[in-house]
Amino acid sequence: MKIHRIDRYCVRLPLRIPFVTSYGRLTEKAFDILVVTDELGNCGLGELVPFEQPDYIEETIDTARIIIEKHLIPLMTNSDIQHPKEVSTLFDEVKGNQMAKSSLETAIWDLYAKRKGKSLKEYFYDTRERIPVGVSVGIQTDLTKLTDQIGKYVEQGYQRVKLKIRPGYDLEPIEAIRQEFPDILLMVDANSAYTIKDISYLKQLDAYNLAMIEQPFAANDFLDHAQLQKEIKTDICLDENIRTLKDCELAFALGSCRAINLKIPRVGGITEAMKIVDFCKEKGLFVWLGGMFESGVGRALNLQFASQKIFTFPGDISASDRYYFEDILSEPIVIQNGEISVPNGQGIGISLSKEKLLKYGTLETIYTK
């Protein structure tokens, strides 16, 4: 396929409620939508998801834009791509920068599926039409407000709650949630806020029937996580650590975790994500699909990928209105009975609302042939 043009919408969507994690407070999500146009006029869509601050991982939206324009687009447009699986190999000479890579790689998958007149999920194994979904809940120090908020999500049908924790905000909110919702599928995510010194403290989390504890320690630590997993009964899940299949192999070999939060952008796109799914299947490592506050484009991609039946655990894939007043799609993504339907158009299956994109963002052309 020939790439004739790449356009970029730079968008900022205000969040309905500020989202607080162990590393900061987010009131608005900035993201780019890349539109890759081929010689026939088909358009592939990709979302660029990194934050503005390098606090979750190193990449930021600014660094990713430079990598895309200066390094990735030239690699992609100087070669004749026959299949989207070639893109990650083409990008190999650029180290790291997975989210930048993913924005283009996933756009090429979308474009390829559209050229073939297929839905993206047709390229995955053993899929279904409706996906069980969960919700990620930010730090809310007023525990009455916290349980009220969770009550609303439970009413809307969300099948799993992930609570963000940090030192000083852990046992108490978990206790409050368990008092009100003794049976919900509950997990916690520390976004690297603890250290090995906290192991004996963290062992108290075993008392709350948590599905898993996500990323208690640093993003580049495998050894301390392995030590904790040895001493604690609850499954440890790695998020920030997992950028490549190699990271999964290392985590598995060392026993650093029993579960992986797989995010397509954090591993550089669909091709690497598929390899990780295969590895997890082979080794019996539990894998589920995470999120990055995506707008409708990234959300639709996540739904296509999560259509694979291996994703039994409700992912961080909520409806458009969980985070945003308005999405940038012509039709928002909605939850029904705790599930979201996989969009069934060609490619990722959705269409953009140009009106909403321009209400919240700007449009520029970043490549022409």
- Told to check if 293 binds ligand OSB by CB under 6 A, we report yes
- Told to check if 239 binds Mg ion by CB under 5 A, we report yes
Q: Tokens 């407070």 belong to which residue? A: 25
Enumerate residues 6+ apart whose C-beta is below 8 A from 247.
238, 241
d(CA 220, CA 8): 32
Residue number with CB closer to Mg ion (261 or 304): 261
- Told to check if 47 binds Mg ion by CB under 5 A, we report no
Question: Does the active-site annotation cover 263?
Answer: yes
- Told to check if 239 binds ligand OSB by CB under 6 A, we report yes
The long-range contacts involving 332-336, CB below 8 angstroms and separated by at least 24 positions, are: 332/296, 333/296, 333/299, 333/300, 333/303, 335/133, 335/156, 335/157, 335/158, 336/157
Strands 43-48 and 24-38: antiparallel
**Of the candidates 46, 291, 296, 314, which one interacts with ligand OSB according to CB under 6 A?**
291
Which residue in 99, 141, 170, 123 sits closest to 347, CA to CA?
Answer: 123
- Per DSSP (E only), the strands in the chain are 3-21, 24-38, 43-48, 130-132, 135-137, 161-164, 186-189, 213-214, 236-238, 259-262, 286-289, 339-341, 361-368
Q: Which does 136 bind (CB under 5 to 8 A by kind): ligand OSB, Mg ion, none?
A: ligand OSB
Is residue 157 within 8 A of residue 334, CB to CB? The reply is no
**Of the candidates 105, 272, 316, 327, which one interacts with ligand OSB according to CB under 6 A?**
316
Q: Which residue is nearest to Mg ion (CB)?
A: 239
200 dihedral zone (left: phi>0; alpha: psi -120 to 50; beta):
alpha
Among the listed residues 29, 162, 263, 356, the single catalytic one is: 263
Strands 3-21 and 186-189: unpaired
- Told to check if 216 binds ligand OSB by CB under 6 A, we report no
**Of the candidates 59, 105, 189, 221, which one interacts with Mg ion according to CB under 5 A?**
189
Residue number with CB closer to ligand OSB (20 or 104): 20
Q: Which does 293 bind (CB under 5 to 8 A by kind): ligand OSB, Mg ion, none?
A: ligand OSB
Stretch that binds Mg ion, among 187-195, 248-256, 323-331, 355-363 (CB under 5 A): 187-195
Stretch that binds Mg ion, among 12-20, 42-50, 235-243, 337-345 (CB under 5 A): 235-243
Residue number with CB closer to ligand OSB (32 or 189): 189
Question: Does the active-site annotation cover 164?
Answer: yes
- Told to check if 50 binds ligand OSB by CB under 6 A, we report no
Half-sphere exposure of 187 (CA within 13 A, CB side): 28
**Of the candidates 50, 268, 290, 349, which one interacts with ligand OSB according to CB under 6 A?**
290
Residue number with CB closer to Mg ion (15 or 75): 15
Residues annotated within a binding site: 189, 214, 239
d(CA 39, CA 197): 57
Among the listed residues 29, 114, 121, 164, the single catalytic one is: 164
- Show which residues are catalytic: 164, 263
